[in-house]
């Protein structure tokens, strides 16, 4: 539909969905939380069907290039001066710098920054006032399942809607924040990429051609004839084909709900953005990136 931008339009031809985790701790050293051996962690993610993984230790760059066999190993660090954020695509820790400068340096290196677990410990672990003053992060962890064995909330749809409602296009990521084996594969990012390479992944992140999930995958999300048409699917072969869909707009308002194999939302044309969540029969969740009304959003200058 004219007037709205759908991040799932024009997906890279010949591409495929790549399961990614941008947030994991492994290896030895001060930043790794007494972690599991890196080769074992990488092997476990490969076995779980992941095409890309970042070992993002706390304030420590870990060279994982030796493990990039059948899986794309992305360099990155969890910047762990409070509040935490992922600096993906950089091979140095930027924690000695202020958040804004670390984001700028990450982008200058061709990478991207993602705000971590925005409601860890308490609501607004990432204070909205602080992130309102920060520029250039590409997104935030809308779901980080690790938090459900720590404190606070692993969901951050409230923070996401806050940022979107201010006219800033940022994306929702799903990450494990892997520390222990029980953390593996609980929340992930599924990304449409022309190739399972850093360059392909980076381009997909830039375009928002991905979903965050605790289980379901995206079959399609189309905007046509003034309607959003969306269908989720389970990651396994199954007869189960029904999901509960929610269409969410400015301020987190639920614009419509539907259940079935597919859901359709008729745009009024007045929506600032509409993002779709789908819940499977077992309660697992899919978060799609927002369909945004053109001209209302600032996404920053991605090139530097």
Residue numbers of the site for Zn ion (CB under 5 A)?
78, 84, 116, 177
CB 96 to Zn ion: min, Å: 17
Q: Name which of 35 and 249 has its Cβ closer to Zn ion.
A: 35
DSSP state of 50: -
Taking the alpha carbons at both ends of the chain, their separation in whole angstroms is 30
CB 295 to Zn ion: min, Å: 35
Q: Name which of 78 and 271 has its Cβ closer to Zn ion.
A: 78
Which helix or strand (DSSP H or E) is residue 157 part of? helix 157-165
Q: Name which of 118 and 136 has its Cβ closer to Zn ion.
A: 118
Q: Name which of 120 and 192 has its Cβ closer to Zn ion.
A: 120
Q: Name which of 85 and 292 has its Cβ closer to Zn ion.
A: 85
Query: What SS3 state is found at 217?
Result: strand
CB 84 to Zn ion: min, Å: 4
CB 117 to Zn ion: min, Å: 6
Q: Name which of 8 and 22 has its Cβ closer to Zn ion.
A: 22
E strands, 89-241, in order:
112-115, 139-144, 171-175, 188-193, 210-213, 217-224, 227-233
Q: How far apart are CA 119 and CA 138, in angstroms?
A: 18
CB 63 to Zn ion: min, Å: 18
Let me know: does 21 contact 54? Beta carbons within 8 Å: yes
Residue number of the CB atom closest to Zn ion? 84
Q: Name which of 124 and 177 has its Cβ closer to Zn ion.
A: 177
E strands, the chain, in order:
4-5, 16-24, 52-55, 72-73, 76-79, 85-88, 112-115, 139-144, 171-175, 188-193, 210-213, 217-224, 227-233, 243-248, 254-260, 263-266, 273-279, 285-288, 291-293
DSSP state of 119: T
Q: What is the 3-state secondary structure (H, E, C) of 246-294?
A: EEECHHHCEEEEEEECCEEEECCCCCCEEEEEEECCCCCEEEECCEEEC
CB 175 to Zn ion: min, Å: 8
CB 126 to Zn ion: min, Å: 11
Q: Name which of 146 and 221 has its Cβ closer to Zn ion.
A: 146
Which of 29, 64, 59, 28 is CA-nearest to residue 46?
Answer: 64
CB 116 to Zn ion: min, Å: 5
CB within 8 A of 239, min separation 6: which ones? none
């Amino acid at each position: 539909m004219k007037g709205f931008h759908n991040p799932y339009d024009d997906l890279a031809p010949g591409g495929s969905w790549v399961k990614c985790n941008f947030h994991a701790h492994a290896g030895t050293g001060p930043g790794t939380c007494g972690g599991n051996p890196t080769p074992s962690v990488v092997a476990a993610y490969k076995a779980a069907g992941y095409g890309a993984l970042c070992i993002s230790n706390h304030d420590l760059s870990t060279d994982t290039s030796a493990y990039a066999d059948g899986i794309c190993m992305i360099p990155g660090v969890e910047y762990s001066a409070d509040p935490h954020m992922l600096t993906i695509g950089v091979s140095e820790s930027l924690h000695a710098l202020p958040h804004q400068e670390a984001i700028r340096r990450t982008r200058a290196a061709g990478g991207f920054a993602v705000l971590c677990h925005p409601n860890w410990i308490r609501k607004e672990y990432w204070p909205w006032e602080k992130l309102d003053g920060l520029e250039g992060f590409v997104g935030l962890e809308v779901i980080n399942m690790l938090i459900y064995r720590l404190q606070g909330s692993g969901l951050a749809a409230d923070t996401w809607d806050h940022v979107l409602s201010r006219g800033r296009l940022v994306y929702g990521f799903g990450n494990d924040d892997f520390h222990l084996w029980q953390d593996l594969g609980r929340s992930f990012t599924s990304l449409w990429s022309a190739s399972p390479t850093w360059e392909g992944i980076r381009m997909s992140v830039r375009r928002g051609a991905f979903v965050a999930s605790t289980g379901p995958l995206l079959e399609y999300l189309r905007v046509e004839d003034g309607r959003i048409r969306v269908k989720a699917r389970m990651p396994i072969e199954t007869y189960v084909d029904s999901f509960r869909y929610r269409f969410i707009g400015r301020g987190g308002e639920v614009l419509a709900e539907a259940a079935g194999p597919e859901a359709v939302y008729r745009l009024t044309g007045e929506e600032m953005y509409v993002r779709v969540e789908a819940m499977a029969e077992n309660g697992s969740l899919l978060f799609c990136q927002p369909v945004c009304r053109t001209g209302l959003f600032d996404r920053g200058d991605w090139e530097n």
